[in-house]
Amino acid sequence: MKVGIIRCQQTEDMCPGTSDFRVTSQGQGAFKEIGPVEIVGFVTCGGCPGKRAIARAKIMVDRGAEAIVFASCITRGNPIGYPCPHYANMRDAVIKKVGPDVKIIEWTH
């Protein structure tokens, strides 16, 4: 499976995405049932309130992503302990833009 990952712009200065790349390549974390996946894009939400995530998700789908993954920094608040307060709206807008056939994965590790 090919995936596109959306991460929090607020945490990119303190997290290089190492754990995201590890769990996707090794089929761990959120990918345990799926197995190893290929990353076709690794982008930020564009900053609060995450409006750029919508267009970026569509671009990744157009480039082969079969699933859009919201990194754990958005949904679980890793590493700062503060989940995104805009997540539900961002997720719903992404689903509307990419369509129901694209799988949504709500965390990474």
How far apart, in whole angstroms, are the C-alpha atoms of residue 99 and residue 65?
A: 12
**pLDDT score at 25:** 97
Domains of the chain: 2-105 (3.40.50)
Q: Is the pLDDT of residue 30 over 90?
A: yes
pLDDT for the residue 80: 87
The helix (H) or strand (E) run that includes residue 92 is: helix 87-98
Summarize the confidence of residues 54-69 as an average pLDDT: 98
Spatial distance between the Cα atoms of 63 and 82, rounded to a whole number of angstroms: 31
pTM exceeds 0.75 for this model: yes
pLDDT value, residue 89: 98
